Amino acid sequence: MDFVETHIRRMMPSGIPLEALGVLGFQVIANASTIFDSRKGKGWIRSFEPADGENVPDSPEAVPAENNSNLPEGILEESPDHSQAKKAKRKSGAKTPAPKASLLSKLADSGLIENRRNGRMRFVHLAFSGSLAGEVMNTASAGIILNQEPWSGRTLAMNSFAAKGNATEMVAALLEQKDEMLGRNTLLAGRFLRDASSQAPWRMKVMAALVELIKGDKPIALRMQAVASITLSEDPAGALLFRQLMQLSDKDLRRMAILASGAIRDVKAADQIISLIGDYNPQVRHSACLALVAMGTPQSLEAVARALTRGDEDLRRAAAEALANNRVEGQIALQEGSSSKDILLRRAVVYGLARLDEKWVTDILEKIQVEDEQWVVRNAAVEVLESRSKPSPRVPRKMSPPHEAPWLIEFAGRYGVGIAPGAPTTDLLLRALKSDKEEEHLAALGYLKYMPSENILSGMYQVFFSTEDAILKEYIYHVLWEFALGGVKIPSPVQYGLG
């Protein structure tokens, strides 16, 4: 936020009060429209115009729409009377005073605002209007923004106000708005912590709401966002919280706390995390390796190096993959480990090197696939090199129509149902969502996420609250999250008699 404010002050024309920009930014956010009519914009900040320049037509917006609607932007058509008056002044020798530029024109010249077609304007970036809005907001105007549907301008303005003003009432109202499935209001309040004053009276209330979300039974992807909010806040209470969570029996809480401690480089937690390298849960062990490498202290790197040389096969691979994140000691260790006599170490190093896209890495892997004595090591190198020549599995691919999907045809056949081209498949996909086979219910979600409707939402809610499959719940959460990003209203589970 400081960088944005510094840029705005650097770009601001002299003589324009920051409050005028704040009013303009607030009106943009309050109207939920990034592009605004220049005449409206001039009206919003008219009170800041110099008294002797209010009636001077200095830009296209001062001319009636019917006179300049067909003209190129910035060209004014003079009336005959106006033209004759100018000629008379020239003949009499009188000097015509230069028209004074309006505030909007000056802002457009500065580069903070740009002209669009048909007399419309916009801030060159939404971050500017959102940051400026916080300069003039108060409790009443914050309520206007709070009642909007979620969008990025709303988020920016509320965050700016929380950093600059008394946002106690706004935060309290935000936390009272329930969003059982996605927790967006709590997460939004959590983002305020990063820029807000450490003395803000509402901080502890937000921290308590985030902790409640973290300790709840929501999907990991949702709870981890709450962890990230505390991590980014750099609040000293966060480090203490994460050290406490690492002592709990819940493996998910331990994993999240370990990653968070690594992200903030809490060296006081190093001994705790080192002890968790031997945890019974593989994900906890993997997280411990990542966190220790992120800390980058000699003690933490030495602990991961021991895991690489002495751990079981799974732990060695986790250690190697974590060491790839350290561009100095970690990558040197992998390079040296590629020629070790230890078979398990060499194989783990291959998977660690796989995370690096460097020429020297490719040379080592090509050498291993040809020259290594052990076939398990050679096969690992071949696997990694082949994966590099294939398209990334994370790149979205166009899905085949449901009636051409082999898995759905087979699934329908078990129930004696046929699938005709173009025929509705919603009911069949919802039935597949309830399948005991993981590949079937996940494949069904791949189609259902493109079908936001009341029927689909109801079906997904029913499965979400009835299944004990944590992975399926995570996928359903992601689909609901994508729905919300697309503007779909996510209802309360109470609407379906759930929750």
Q: What is the pLDDT of residues 239-288, one digit of tens each?
A: 999 999 999 999 999 999 999 999 999 999 999 999 999 999 999 999 99
Q: What is the DSSP letter of 403?
A: G
| Least confident range of 36-40, 60-64, 221-225, 453-457 | 60-64
Q: How do beta strands 113-115 and 35-37 pair?
A: unpaired
In sequence order, the 6+-apart residues with CB closer than 8 A to the CB of 63 are 57, 76, 77
Task: Check whether residue 336 and residue 444 sit in a common domain.
Answer: no
Average pLDDT, the chain: 88
Q: How confident is the model at residue 182 (pLDDT cuts 50, 70, 90)?
A: very high
Residue 233 counted as domain residue: yes
Q: Is residue 201 situated within a structural domain?
A: yes
Res. 84 pLDDT band, cuts 50 70 90? low
**Beta partners for 35?**
122
Determine, yes or no, domain membership for 387: no
Tell me how far apart the alpha carbons of residues 265 and 340 are, in angstroms, rounded to a whole number.
31
**pLDDT (0 to 100) of residue 131:** 93
What angle separates helix 126-136 from helix 2-11, to the nearest 10 degrees? 90
Q: Are residues 7 and 81 in the same domain?
A: yes
Q: How big is the chain, counted in residues?
A: 499
Residues 457/465, Cβ–Cβ less than 8 Å: no
- The Cα–Cα gap between 335 and 321 comes to 13
Here the tokens at position 334 are: 């992998």
Question: 205 and 330: one domain?
Answer: yes
CATH of the domain at 342: 1.25.10.10
Q: At 91, is the pLDDT very low, low, confident or very high (cuts 50, 70, 90)? A: low
Cβ neighbour number for residue 40 with a 10 Å cutoff = 15
Please name which of 334, 321, 276, 332 lies closest in space to residue 294, comparing C-alpha atoms: 321
What pLDDT is stored for residue 1 in this prediction? 85
More confident residue, 107 or 66: 107
Is position 359 within any domain?
Answer: no
Specify the higher pLDDT residue, 71 or 114. 114
Shared domain check, 313 and 180:
yes
Q: What is the pLDDT of residues 212-242, one digit of tens each?
A: 999 999 999 999 999 999 999 999 999 999 9
Task: Check whether residue 342 and residue 443 sit in a common domain.
Answer: no
* pLDDT on residue 205: 96
Question: Is the model's pLDDT at 76 over the cut of 60?
Answer: no
User: Does any domain span residue 362?
Assistant: no
Asked if residue 72 has pLDDT above 60, the reply is no
Contact assessment for residue 161 and residue 192, using Cβ atoms and an 8 Å cutoff:
no
For residues 130 and 177, membership in a common domain is answered with no
Per the domain annotation, does 153 fall within a domain? no
pLDDT band at 2 (very low <50, low <70, confident <90, very high): confident
How far is the C-alpha of 243 from the C-alpha of 177, rounded, in Å? 30
Residue 390 confidence (pLDDT): 87
Same domain, 123 and 172: no
For residue 322, the model assigns a pLDDT of 97
- Higher local confidence (pLDDT), 482 or 80: 482
Q: Determine the pLDDT at residue 80.
A: 44
Asked if residue 28 is part of any domain, the answer here is: yes
Domain with residue 21: its CATH number is: 1.10.10
Provide the sign of the torsion angle of the four alpha carbons 418, 419, 421, 422, taken in this order.
positive
| Cβ(114)–Cβ(121) below 8 Å | yes
Yes or no: say if 242 and 260 are a contact pair by the CB < 8 Å rule.
yes
Q: How many CB atoms are located within 10 Å of the residue 372 CB?
A: 20
What band does 87 get if pLDDT is binned at 50, 70 and 90? low
- Average pLDDT rounded to a whole number, residues 375-400: 90
Enclosing domain of residue 217: 168-348
The span from the CA of 60 to the CA of 120, in Å, is 10
pLDDT at 201: 94
- Structurally, the chain folds into a number of domains equal to 3
Are residues 198 and 308 located together in one domain of the fold? yes
Which amino acid is present at 24?
L
> What is the distance of C-alpha 366 from the center of its chain?
38
